[in-house]
Amino acid sequence: MEDLRINSVERKEKVTIKVNGKDVIAYTGETLLAALIASGYKQLKKSPVLKEKRGGLCGMGVCYECLVTIDGEKNIRACMQDVRAGMEIGIEE
């Protein structure tokens, strides 16, 4: 999968997170939304009525379009969370 990280940026600690059970590389200091997008996860949830695929829109906590499950807790805004080693993310596919 393509990596959308900008090369010139110095990264902090490399960690592994799980996305729907799969190991994904991320770096501390990144928001969870950024880490997911960097690894190709653009679609994060489904809309409530039409079940359309949705992903981050505002990136700053307003739109609630990047809701994911974190360590079993549902409906968390990925843009408002920082990456933590070992966090288990669930996205609706």
Partner 1 sequence: MKNKKYDIIIIGSGFAGIASANILAGKGLSILMIDENFHVGGQLLRKIPQELGINKKYKPDYVKKIGNAFVNNLKRDDIEILNNTSVIGIYDNNEILIEIEKKRVASIHYEVILFTTGARERYLPFKGWTIPGVFSAGMSQVLMKSSGVLPSRDVVVGGSGLFLFSAAYEFLNNGAKVRSVLESTGIADKVKMLPVLLHNFSKIMEGARYLGKIGSSGVPIRFNTRIIEARGNGSLEEIVIGKTDRNGKLITGKEKIIKVGGFAYSYGFVPNIELPNLAGCKISFKKELGGWVVDVNENMETSIPGVFCAGEVTGVGGALKSVNEGETASLSILERFEKNGSIHAKKNKLLKERKHHLNFAKYFNTLYGIRDEEISEIPDETIICRCEDVKMGDIREAVSNGFISPGALKTSVRAGMGNCQGRTCGPIIYNLLGSVSGIEGKNFTLFSNRPPVKPVKISSLINRS
Q: How far apart are the first and last CA of the chain?
A: 17
Tell me the closest approach of the beta carbon of residue 46 to partner 1, in angstroms. Answer: 10
Gyration radius from the chain CA atoms: 13
> What's the min distance (Å) between Cβ of 84 and partner 1?
12
CA distance linking residue 39 with residue 14, whole number of Å: 14
Q: Nearest approach, Cβ of 23 to partner 1 (angstroms)? A: 18
Q: Which is nearer to partner 1, 11 or 22 (CB)?
A: 11
Please give the residue ranges that form the binding site for partner 1 (CB under 8 A). Answer: 2, 4-12, 29-31, 33-35, 37-38, 42-44, 47-50, 52-65, 67, 75, 79-80, 82
- Rounded Cα distance between 54 and 56, Å, is 7
Give the distance from CA 56 to its chain's centroid. Answer: 9
> Closer CB to partner 1, residue 62 or residue 85?
62
